[in-house]
Amino acid sequence: MMFLPESKWSPRYETQFYTIRMNTYTILDKPSPSSDGTTTTFGTDECSLCNHNTKFPAVYYKIEVLRGNTQHTCLRRYSQFLYLSNKICHVTTERDTMHKRHLPPKTGPFHRDSPEFLEERMEGLYQFLMDVLLRPECVNNTWVEAFLELGASDENL
């Protein structure tokens, strides 16, 4: 698959091309129940490692993945971005500085409910993702594909 920035992407492109949007977040007070009544975690098992130890309320950033004529949404916490960063820093040319330089700061107890802080952090997380997706050594990485649930789009094709 090939990532294209949103400004260069079109739904007319075939399914091997995709782009992302990230322009909103949600604060969940508790885990969402799934259709079978159990508590659901967001994402694949690999990327959900952070979710099984979640404290609520929690901020989830909505990532829209657009691929061909399909679209799906991933909900991700800051800790999942950090987890992704730690996993992919082993394949980048900037091994030790990638996540330290590109991830925005973690939240403190006084910032969690601040819309300004959450908007700034969302923009920083989006810039981090763009940096990752524009790196040839990262774009087809298994961790990135799991993080964006790119396999979920295959089911709808």
Segment among 67-76, 91-100, 131-140 with least mean pLDDT:
91-100
Interval 1-52: pLDDT, tens: 889 999 998 988 888 899 999 999 998 887 765 545 444 444 444 444 344 5
Supply the pLDDT for residue 155.
Answer: 56
CA 101 to each of CA 75, 96, 98, 124, 127: distance values in angstroms, whole numbers, following the listed order: 23, 9, 6, 11, 11
The pTM of this model reads 0.80
Which residues are 156's β-sheet partners?
Answer: none
Interval 1-13: pLDDT, tens: 889 999 998 988 8
d(CA 118, CA 23): 11
Pairing state of beta strands 17-28 and 2-3?
parallel
Residue whose C-alpha is closest to residue 28's, from 87, 73, 75? 75
Question: What percentage of the chain exceeds 90 in pLDDT?
Answer: 35
Interval 77-99: pLDDT, tens: 998 999 998 888 766 555 445 54
The token pair that represents 89 in the structure block: 């820093």
